[in-house]
Structure 1
Amino acid sequence: VNHAALTALMDRWRPETHSFHLSFGEMTMTLEDMAMISGLPINGRAITGRVSAVNWRQRAGILIGVEPDAPPAGKADASKVRHSWLKQVR
C-alpha cells in the first residue's frame, strides 16, 4: 500500500460530488474499479435479499460457500460480513 498516494487522494476527495478533484479534472470510482481493487466478481446473482439477522451466518454460508466464524466469547455478534473477511476467503 502506498500511504503517500492514499493520503494525497483523501485530500482531494469531495463528498459533495463523490469524486476526486485532481489537477487534470474529476475522477470517479466505478463498479469495475471496485471489482479490480477488491477482487470480488460483479457478474452473477446478488448475494442480498430480505434483511433478517436470524441465522445470517448459515445463510451467508449457503450463498457464498463459506460460513463466517462466530465472534470471540464476550464480543457482540454483528450481523454483517466484513469486506476484509470476504477478501480472505475468496
Structure 2
Amino acid sequence: MNHAALTALTDRWRPETHSFHLACGEMTMTLEDMAMISDLPINGLAVTGHVSAVNCRARFGDLIGVQPPLPLSGKAGSSKVKHSRLKEVT
C-alpha cells in the first residue's frame, strides 16, 4: 500500500463534487473502477433492500452469504463485514 499516494488523494478529494481535483483536471471513481480495485463482480442481482437494526446480521447472511461477527463490547466497528470476507464469497 502506498501511503504517500493515499494521503495525496485524500488531500485532493472534494466531497461537494464527489471527485478528486488534480493538476491535470477532475477525476471521478466509476463503478468499473471500484470493481477492478475490489475484485468484486458488478454483474448480477443487486444487493439491496430495507434493513432494520433488528435483522441486520441475518439480512447480510441472506444477501451476501457472510454474517458480520458479533460486536465486541467497547470496540467500535468490530461488527463490520471485512472486504476480504466479501471476496471469499464471490
TM-score after normalising by structure 1: 0.74
> Given residue 52 of structure 2, which amino acid in structure 1 is its aligned partner?
S
Aligned counterpart, 1:43 = 43
Q: Residue 17 and residue 77 in structure 1: after superposition, are their counterparts in 2 closer, same or farther (change >3 A)?
A: closer
> Given residue 41 of structure 2, which amino acid in structure 1 is its aligned partner?
P
User: 1:77 deviation in Å?
Assistant: 9.2
> Given residue 88 of structure 1, which amino acid in structure 2 is its aligned partner?
S
Q: Is the CA contact 1:70–1:77 (under 8 Å) kept in the aligned structure 2?
A: no
Aligned length: 85
Q: Residue 77 and residue 19 in structure 1: after superposition, are their counterparts in 2 closer, same or farther (change >3 A)?
A: closer
Q: Is the CA contact 2:69–2:80 (under 8 Å) kept in the aligned structure 1?
A: no
Q: Deviations over 1:3-33 (max 9, x none)?
A: 1111111222222222112122111111111
- Structure 2 Cα separation of the partners of residues 5 and 56 of structure 1: 35
Alignment of 1:1-90 (within 5 A): 1-72=1-72, 74-75=73-74, 81-82=80-81, 85=82, 87-89=83-85, 90=87
Which consecutive unaligned segments of at least 5 residues does structure 2 have?
A: none
Q: RMSD of the alignment, in Å? A: 2.4
Q: Is the CA contact 1:21–1:27 (under 8 Å) kept in the aligned structure 2?
A: yes
Which consecutive unaligned segments of at least 5 residues does structure 1 have?
A: none
Q: How much identity, in percent, do the aligned residues show?
A: 66
User: 1:40 deviation in Å?
Assistant: 2.1
> Given residue 57 of structure 2, which amino acid in structure 1 is its aligned partner?
R
Q: Residue 30 and residue 13 in structure 1: after superposition, are their counterparts in 2 closer, same or farther (change >3 A)?
A: same
